[in-house]
Amino acid sequence: MINRLLITVTLLFCALPSQAEDPNADDNPLQRFKNIGFHLGGLTEFYDAIQTDTAGHTRKFDLKPMIGGSTDIELNQAWSLVPEIDWVLPQNMGDGVMKNLFMVRLDGAWQGGEGWRLRIGTSLMVNNIKGSGGTRSVRNGGSTSNFYLPPESRTAVNNTLDFAAEAMYEQFAFRFQTYTYALFRNDRRQLSYALILTYYYDLENKP
């Protein structure tokens, strides 16, 4: 997983123009921090991959509440780096099992026009599940199967390749964000997506 993360980050940085291409670059690196973003949105995990009933229907829309924050680091007039941290609020999975998902993200953002931009990046998905143990019986056709519940806190970390389109108006933005798991594994590849509303606090015009 770490090797895939390094490859993804390397490709991202190779795709971005260097700071030297910006003739108006400021000598003070702090001036490159343009804003602070406050995010509110919803996440649909594993699109069309989780069965929701005995008829075989799968989940396509399930916006789990999420919040987060970010900042834009300007490289030049067209490109910015966007480090971001998001938190999907705790989810009760039933039978005393709680799930927390944290996203540690880095995007390269291309300002394609006055009111929109495209983003490509990567995330570390830190998934924590905590339970009190035991088993749960689930119907499986004409019989039942027992599934073991986690007896303690367990954490799994995955790396994703991310794409997004963002529409911007004044200090607000709306983003459609995708996260692709196991990009190079056809048998394990899965897609999640989020709809995110952002308020950008402008650091350039702060008092």
Each residue's pLDDT tens digit, 164-173: 999 999 999 9
Inform me whether the pLDDT recorded for 68 exceeds 90: yes
Q: How far is CA 61 from the centre of its chain?
A: 16
Average the pLDDT over each of 36-40, 59-63, 69-73 and give the range with the smallest value. Answer: 59-63
Inform me whether the pLDDT recorded for 63 exceeds 70: yes
Q: Six-digit token pair at 189? A: 């590849």
pLDDT band at 119 (very low <50, low <70, confident <90, very high): very high
% residues pLDDT > 70 (the chain): 71
pLDDT band at 62 (very low <50, low <70, confident <90, very high): confident
Helix (H, G, I), strand (E, B) or coil at 185: coil
Task: State pLDDT tens for residues 13-35.
Answer: 555 554 444 545 556 788 899 99
52: left (phi > 0), else alpha (psi -120 to 50), else beta? alpha
Distance CA 51, CA 2 (A): 30
Write the DSSP symbol of residue 151.
Answer: S
Mean residue pLDDT of the chain comes to 82
Helix (H, G, I), strand (E, B) or coil at 118: strand
Q: Angle CA(181)–CA(184)–CA(187) in degrees, nearest 5?
A: 75
CB 181 within 8 A of CB 162: no
Inform me whether the pLDDT recorded for 122 exceeds 50: yes
Mean pLDDT score, 184-193: 88
Q: Angle CA(71)–CA(73)–CA(76) in degrees, nearest 5?
A: 145
Distance CA 174, CA 198 (A): 6
Distance CA 178, CA 44 (A): 10
Q: Six-digit token pair at 3? A: 């090797």
CB 74 within 8 A of CB 94: no
Tell me phi and psi for residue 149, to 5 degrees.
Answer: -95, 145
pTM: 0.78
10 Å Cβ neighbour count for 95?
13
CB 75 within 8 A of CB 81: yes
The whole-number pLDDT of residue 39 equals 98
